[in-house]
Structure formats: structure tokens, C-alpha cells
Amino acid sequence: MTKSLHVEITGRVQGVGYRAWTEEEARRLGLSGWVRNCRSGAVEAVFTGDDAAVDAMLEAAAKGPPCSSVKDVVVVGEVEAYEGDFEVWPTE
């Protein structure tokens, strides 16, 4: 089964390599989607893949890379499946 979730990650998640880490982790899990910084200081992403891989990414996102301090990972909602590789997008 495949799912695609739009998420928002808050905390100290900008300027700490969070996007690059997310890209590496998502690709390792075989996910499609994207990640970008938001002007609000949050990071947003779409994770598309099989249920177990998306759930694993949500767990990983809550921990983040070593220099980050994640406050919360909020699932904004389900979205249309993203096709293609996992990408880092420019700031919104």
C-alpha cells in the first residue's frame, strides 16, 4: 500500500543540515517527494512511498540530524502521490 503525506517539522530545523539529511534518509527508504525551508522557520515535506517506509520517515523526522532539535512533526494531510526522486526545493 502506498501513501503520500504532507508534513511540517518545527523546532531548530533550519541551518543545521535538516533538508540534506531528510533527502538522504528519504532516498535510503526509497521514498519520493520533496523537502524545503519555510519563511516561518519550519521545514515542510511530502513523503510518498509504501506505508512502512513513510512511517519510518516520520519517526526519523521527529529525531532529525544530530545538530537539530525537533519540536514537532505535524501531518498536514494526505496529498496526491509525488512522482520521481526525492528533491530539495527552494525556500517557500
**Active site residue ranges:** 19, 37
> With helix as H, strand as E and coil as C, how does the chain read?
CEEEEEEEEEEECCCCCHHHHHHHHHHHCCCEEEEEECCCCCEEEEEEEEHHHHHHHHHHHHHCCCCCEEEEEEEEEECCCCCCCEEECCCC
